Amino acid sequence: MFTTVAGRKTYAYTANKPLDSSLPAIVFVHGAANDHSVWSLQSRYFAYHGWSALAVDLPGHGRSEGAALDSITALAQWLVAFLDAVNVTQCYIVGHSMGSLVGLETAARHPSRVNGLALVGTAVPMQVSDVLLKTSAANDHLAYELINTFAHSPRAQLGGNRVPGAWMLGNNMRLMERSANGTLYADFSACNDYKDGLDAAKKVQCPVLMILGQRDLMTPPRAASQAAGSFSEVRTVILEGAGHSLMSEQPDAVLDALIGFVDTTRTTPA
């Protein structure tokens, strides 16, 4: 579906389902140089199991217009404007990598609007290496190549995909290559410059789920430990053998963790 946010055409995948205000809402937020498609399995499942599910394309990503925003604060403000545009007053937020920081900041700023927060492949703070900042600033294809190496576990590097006919690393490379020049650098800058994450974690009032990859080189589980200790209610799931691209490496495990989370934290039945 398309809507308008801040005067720009904005896309969110709903699994071809109309939004139903009588259903609970769950919003999926992608990471750097990605788009809604990384949440295909998870968003589609919830859309067909009693939820209004929206996998959003952030500005300058996927099918959404505008330039990429270069701060987590601006992205969180944009996300709230998106929720207003689609008349979602309360929701669960599920964010991956950069998207997890957007969800975190949104939940901290608007606690009454976020019923639950799932942080997938997260780190607080989320420092980006100098080589990734330098290569992405130069729009050097090497940045994508490095990400593809760092973001996938050793097992994933061997090839194959749980989805027949799909190539995990190839799909991710083509997805990143569709980004406009400057997008990846804006995304990385937003992550690297966000210094308020631990303070934000203390302000979150909803239940929190952290889904982490045991073999994640970009946001290793230890990088989430401080944030985990700052939340008032948190559970952590570590997926054995998984790298940073958890939704493609272990899609069913991510989905199962999300289902268990919402089933045990929702205050009203679906």
Written as one string, the DSSP assignment of 215-242 is T-SSS-GGGGHHHHTT-SSEEEEEETT-
Instruction: Please give the Cα distance from 132 to 139 (Å, whole number).
Output: 10
Non-local CB neighbours of 219 within 8 Å, separated by 6+ positions: 97, 121, 122, 123, 126, 212, 213, 244
Set out the domains of the chain in order of their start, with CATH numbers.
2-265 (3.40.50.1820)
CA 264 to chain centre: 21
Kindly calculate the radius of gyration of the chain based on its CA atoms and give it in whole angstroms: 17
Instruction: Please give the Cα distance from 121 to 219 (Å, whole number).
Output: 6
Per-residue pLDDT of the chain (270 residues; tens, 9 = 90+): 999 999 999 999 999 999 999 999 999 999 999 999 999 999 999 999 999 999 999 999 999 999 999 999 999 999 999 999 999 999 999 999 999 999 999 999 999 999 999 999 999 999 999 999 999 999 999 999 999 998 887 667 666 666 655 667 888 999 999 999 999 999 999 999 999 999 999 999 999 999 999 999 999 999 999 999 999 999 999 999 999 999 999 999 999 999 999 999 987 544
Instruction: Please give the Cα distance from 247 to 118 (Å, whole number).
Output: 13
